[in-house]
Amino acid sequence: LDPAQPDSRLRQLISESGLTTGVATDADTAHFETLGLTVVRADADRPTAERAAAQPGEAAYVLYTSGSTGTPK
């Protein structure tokens, strides 16, 4: 999600996609939390995972685009 988008647009994307959790930097965490998301901080220190490759059934990211219609799909 682009935090520069209007909140009404972000709420629409969150609602239509069923999004509940997002990844954001500290600078955007509070904004996304006010939109009802659980935020995983991208800039927080964490131990490095031993297994770096995603496994089947594990989401890495979701591409949600409106293309030329302006309506997300």
26-61 per-position pLDDT tens digit: 999 999 999 999 998 988 877 766 655 667 777 666
pLDDT at 65: 73
Nearest one of 40, 35, 37, 42 to 9, comparing CA atoms: 35
User: pTM for the full model?
Assistant: 0.68
Q: Does 52 or 68 have the greater pLDDT score?
A: 68
Q: Does 3 or 51 have the greater pLDDT score?
A: 3
pLDDT at 59: 65
pLDDT at position 22 over 70: yes
DSSP labels, the chain:
--TTS-HHHHHHHHHHHT--EEEE-HHHHHHHHHTT-EEEETTS--PPPS--S--TT---------TTTTS--
Please give the Cα distance from 51 to 1 (Å, whole number).
27
